[in-house]
Amino acid sequence: MVSPGESWWTAGASPRISSGSSTRRADTPRRPTRSPAILHREHRVGSSSGVSSRPGKRLRVLSHGFPTSSAGMGSSSGWNDSRILPNRRERRKETAVRQVDADTLDLRRFRPLPDLMANVASQHRTGAITAISREGSRRLIFVEGELRSARSDIEDEKLGSWLVSRGIIDENQKALTLFVDQSSADSPPLGHLLVVRGLLDEETLERELAELATTIIRRAAEAPDSTAEFLEGRAENDLDTLPGLTTLELILLAARSYPNVQHKRNRLGPMDQVAWPSMTLDTLLDELPLTPTEAFFLSRLDGTRRLEDLVSIGSIPEEQAVSVIYTLRTAGIISIGDAPAASLAPMPSIGHTTANSAQEFATVDESVLNDEEIAERERIRHLASEVTRMNHYRALGIPRGAKPGEVESAWQQTKKRFSPDRSRERHLRDMRHQLQLIFERANAAQEVLSNPATRYRYDKVLESLEQEKNEKSELAESSTKFSAAARSELVEANLKRADELIHDGEPYLALQLLEQACQLDPRPAELVKLARLQLRNPLWKDRALKTLRKALEVDPKFVDAWLELSEFWRRRNNPERQRKALERALAADPDHPKAKQMYRQLVGQRDLERLIRRARSRQP
């Protein structure tokens, strides 16, 4: 039997029509010139699944598992509605039939959990995926395509039992909390109550919720008899319980865990198709927890390799290769098509910036290059990663005493060697970004050094920094032998000088001083300042991200670090991570005006108010 509020979207399950206490299958013979005879039932969406639809909205389900609207089922079909559902007209007076568009119809077909998760995410749907197996049901809550929480009605996958099994609380503490605090329907969640009662801290709760969610999703994907369905509608409690996990990471987990290799082959389609990355390579490497095998396959994608070529790479078994390609495709990390990648538009990704051209995701196969070409690639990589640390003389490759003519000559040589136009050459076609970075840094250097006035001022700054460096070196040596006060004095001197250099428009020199100061004394505010300088070098995004995370390790409640992290993800076009960072900022300070403004602009006033209420309820 199907309980009220549930729908059968699963393969092999036929909807039933209830009339009083009797129930019959919707199995009607096919008419010669018509589509299958269609029997309907109407029900309210989501009452038992925890997902609520708008009041008065009902969903009509076809016997073959597809939803429909009243269009096409009226008199034009040649069927008398009253023969199919005697009370249909009466029910029509009470509520309108919900209209379902093509995308929703596609989502409501049965499909394996990883595929369904990917479709809900890519189409930015709001609702719940329910995965049903012999063990019980598991439910994944989505809001606008972002996975917010994972729940289960299986006893050992409920939070209380999970915490008991891991020795974090005992049965008495669990029972007492449930008995005393969850006696009413609107009681706060168990995890919140345990934190309020002092039985565990916020960090432990967050870690255990993440571990429990990954376990629920992995087991749901692994279950051989599991069927998955999506039911659209906003849940009453859809606040994010997974601040440290992203939807894409969880889709990757589900796809890796799914065991049906034959389905994976079918999803890939013909093996003579071409595969290419759907996202920029730096995004893939910086942000995703890829396995070594997945990274290996991505490194072999140049927009020309066919699936059959990828499957036969190296000594990887064919089934494993198929599984890896399926995982990458399901997560939207790679796209597959019949034409070369250069002539195809990349497939939309989940929460990330897609590549805008073939060149952005193209890679060069170094096995076909000669030694000179490989050496030049390495030289360009090294220079691009270090340009932010260089002073103007090093950026042009000239000595401090170089004459004006030597400055101009060095600039012309640099333009020729590192012009972005060289990315047309076969061994540099994936290095336009690095060439652009070196070119722009050298241009900034020649603008200062080619003008006698600005060069004189710059030389004075360098001289004073060298003198300070020698003095600080002596102070650092004495600080290790005598007192922490001397060490603190060194840090303060570096920070003060760095601020002066930033004010004077010398960020490259300021960055070096800030790095030294933060190594000696990592302070959250200075680490955030350092991250902002590091972000001036696009190739240092990963360094800046590590610096921001370091600031949050030092002080997890440092709001400015969370706000800067939110901005980092906004620039990376990752709204999910942006939202999570803002929620952490507001959890630390629910009244922070900038955090409230940024969160309101991202998700709206209603969600902001709900989040602030939850944050304030957790404060002592």
* pLDDT, tens only, 513-530: 888 888 888 899 999 999
The residue among 570 and 385 whose pLDDT is bigger is 570
Structural domain boundaries enclosing 416: 367-450
The 3 state secondary structure assigned to 378-413 is: HHHHHHHHHHHHCCHHHHHCCCCCCCHHHHHHHHHH
* Identity of residue 147: L
Confidence bin at 280 (pLDDT 50/70/90): low
153, 226: one domain: yes
Diameter of the chain by CA atoms? 99
121, 227: one domain: yes
What's the token pair of residue 483?
A: 């007192």
Q: What are the backbone dihedrals phi and psi of residue 214, each rounded to the nearest 5 degrees, phi first?
A: -65, -35
The pLDDT of residue 388 is: 73
Residue 570 lies in a domain: no
Residue 560 lies in a domain: no
**What is the CA angle 424-427-431, rounded to 5?**
70
Q: What is the mean pLDDT of residues 298-316?
A: 79
Q: What are the backbone dihedrals phi and psi of residue 619, each rounded to the nearest 5 degrees, phi first?
A: -75, 145
49 touches 4 (CB < 8 A): no
Residue written as token pair 């409640």: 557
For 207, counting Cβ atoms within 10 Å of its Cβ (0-12 exposed, 13-18 middle, 19+ buried), the class is middle
The rounded distance, in Å, linking the Cα atoms of 15 and 4 is 13
Q: What single DSSP character describes residue 30?
A: P
DSSP string across 232-287: ESEESS---S-TT--HHHHHHHHHHH---HHHHHHHH--TTSEEEESB-HHHHHHH
Strand residues in 308-376 grouped as ranges (E): 334-337
The rounded distance, in Å, linking the Cα atoms of 150 and 214 is 8
209, 117: one domain: yes
Residue 430 lies in a domain: yes
195, 86: one domain: no
For 523, counting Cβ atoms within 10 Å of its Cβ (0-12 exposed, 13-18 middle, 19+ buried), the class is middle
426 touches 544 (CB < 8 A): no
Residue 523 lies in a domain: no
Residue 279 lies in a domain: yes
Cβ neighbours, 10 Å, residue 220? 30
The pLDDT > 70 percentage for the chain reads 70
Confidence bin at 559 (pLDDT 50/70/90): very high
DSSP-derived 3-state class of residue 230 = strand
Residue 474 lies in a domain: no
222, 315: one domain: no
Domain end marker among 107, 128, 154: 107
The residues near 200 (Cβ < 8 Å, ≥ 6 apart) are: 163, 168, 169, 194, 208
Domain end marker among 253, 275, 301: 253
Q: What average pLDDT is seen over the chain?
A: 75
The residue among 90 and 111 whose pLDDT is bigger is 111
120 touches 230 (CB < 8 A): yes
600 touches 584 (CB < 8 A): no
| Radius of gyration in angstroms for the set of CA atoms belonging to the chain, rounded to a whole number | 30
Confidence bin at 42 (pLDDT 50/70/90): very low
* Identity of residue 94: E
The rounded distance, in Å, linking the Cα atoms of 193 and 191 is 5
95, 119: one domain: no
CATH of the domain at 427: 1.10.287.110
Rounded to the nearest 10 degrees, how much is the dihedral formed by the CA atoms of 173, 174, 177, 178? -150
Please give the distance of CA 344 from its chain centroid, rounded to a whole number. 24
* Domain count along the chain: 4
Confidence bin at 67 (pLDDT 50/70/90): very low
The rounded distance, in Å, linking the Cα atoms of 562 and 592 is 12
The residue among 105 and 588 whose pLDDT is bigger is 588
Residue 457 lies in a domain: no
272, 206: one domain: no
190, 274: one domain: no
**Res 431 pLDDT > 90:** no
The candidate with the shortest Cα–Cα distance to 414, out of 389, 386, 431, 435, is 435
The pLDDT of residue 253 is: 94
Residue 89 lies in a domain: yes
**Lowest-confidence pick of 38-47, 454-463, 474-483, 564-573:** 38-47
70 touches 31 (CB < 8 A): no
264, 346: one domain: yes
Residue written as token pair 């170094």: 366
The pLDDT of residue 476 is: 54
126, 241: one domain: yes
**Res 323 pLDDT > 90:** yes
330, 202: one domain: no
**Res 551 pLDDT > 80:** yes
DSSP string across 451-511: SHHHHHHHHHHHHHHHHHHHHHHHHHHHHHHS-HHHHHHHHHHHHHHHHHHHHTT-HHHHH
Max mean pLDDT range (236-245, 310-319, 544-553): 544-553
Domain end marker among 363, 378, 402: 363
74, 134: one domain: no
The pLDDT of residue 152 is: 93
